[in-house]
Structure 1
């Protein structure tokens, strides 16, 4: 087995461990807890790691407080993060002090302050703020390739060379656009289309309907990786949960495209890995 395969298997194992502790938290006492807060367009996820950076708890809630990578319901975002924090504190019987957060690449000057304020407003000391695809790579551990984070509102791309990020970009087009297509095709309201899209049993039927939007995402990827030596693409983000999305992107880009078993949890886990005990300036 190649080093890449071992690394990818480790990613899947970590995500599986996290899914298990979302259902059954590990209540053994840790000297410190590190929390990753992922404020997504469709879903807010909190991932908690122990002193050894092992997953011990997690919670998530579908929400509409962020749009296209920007916080649009500031009070609502604080309330949801605070409620998820309290829920996890009760399950772990401890106070969660430290958290890291992430933003779409290239948007730090626009909304980094708002994300930071949401995390602090929920009662955390924020210790790191990084871009989402870079956070995801803390779990993926890619040396060379591209991490593509397809969220609710945007597609973020990070190109890595020798384990270092050499290029980042973020463009509108994500799960929201998928839901709009589903809404139009099936004469559903936007919220009904969101729910319909999330159900895995509908994915096979939806794939041909959503193919044009997926091809648009692939064209965004192609445009940004042009001129870089990218031999593999790794998909993360909630929108990538759509079964078969990786096949269409691989066909359109001509580059091997891989997807973890649950791509929604890769970024929040990576954010948690970036958390420390030192509050950021």
Structure 2
């Protein structure tokens, strides 16, 4: 069995386990819990792992406290993370102390402080702050290739060689642009378009409508991987939940493109895997 397939199996299993514990948390006697906080443009996700870094609980909530990867509603973001933290604590019967978080690549000077402050103000000790595609690769375990995190407002790309990140970039274009296209094509308010886009039953009908935007993302990928000899692309982020998005990107780039079972949960799980018991300075 190839190493590529093995790494994808680990990813699929971890995501599947997490989906299960979101619905049915595992209440046990872990000596410590590690939380990954993913402040996404469209969705905030908390992933909780036990002392062995196995999923035990999680929660997610759609929100608009982040725009284009930046926190725009600071108080609202704190409130959501705090509420989700408390809900999970009640289910597990314990306090969640340690958390890690992530930001779009290259935005640490702009927004790293805001994300850090949100997590700390929600009651966590922040132990790590890393870029989103790098966090995702904790789950994907790619040694050579590109991790493409298509979020609500931006597309983050990390290129890896021998397991190390050699190039990161974050470009505007993401799920918000999908919703704008749906809103215009169907003459519906943006919020309705957002909900319509999320429904898997509408994906087959929407794919031709959204194809130009997907092709734009593919061109962004092509431009940024030029000269890096990328052999595989892994798609993560909530926007990648669109059925068959990977087929269009595969065709446009000419590079094998993999999409996990639920790409929305890959990054938060990777963030949680990066959590420790040592608070950041």
Alignment TM-score > 0.5, same fold: yes
Matches within 5 A, 1:25-64: 25-64=25-64
Counterpart residue number, 1:280: 280
Q: Establish whether residue 171 from structure 1 lines up as the match of residue 171 from structure 2.
A: yes
> SS at the partner of 2:169?
strand
Counterpart residue number, 2:7: 7
CA RMSD between the two structures:
0.4
Matches within 5 A, 1:119-158: 119-158=119-158
Counterpart residue number, 2:228: 228
CA distance in 1, matches of 2:96, 2:28: 14
> SS at the partner of 2:197?
helix
Counterpart residue number, 1:189: 189
The Cα shift of 1:9 comes to 1.1
The Cα shift of 1:246 comes to 0.3
CA distance in 1, matches of 2:280, 2:74: 21
Counterpart residue number, 1:102: 102
> SS at the partner of 2:52?
coil
Counterpart residue number, 1:71: 71
The Cα shift of 1:24 comes to 0.1
CA distance in 2, matches of 1:99, 1:191: 31
> SS at the partner of 1:32?
coil
- In the TM superposition, what whole-angstrom CA distance separates every residue of 1:98-122 from its partner, at most 9, and x where no partner exists? 0000000000000000000000010
- In the TM superposition, what whole-angstrom CA distance separates every residue of 1:120-139 from its partner, at most 9, and x where no partner exists? 01000000000000000000
Task: State TM-score, norm by structure 1.
Answer: 1.00
**Gaps (5+ residues) in structure 2?**
none
Q: How many pairs does the alignment contain?
A: 281
The Cα shift of 1:6 comes to 1.0
**Gaps (5+ residues) in structure 1?**
none
Task: State TM-score, norm by structure 2.
Answer: 1.00
- In the TM superposition, what whole-angstrom CA distance separates every residue of 1:22-45 from its partner, at most 9, and x where no partner exists? 000000111000000000000000
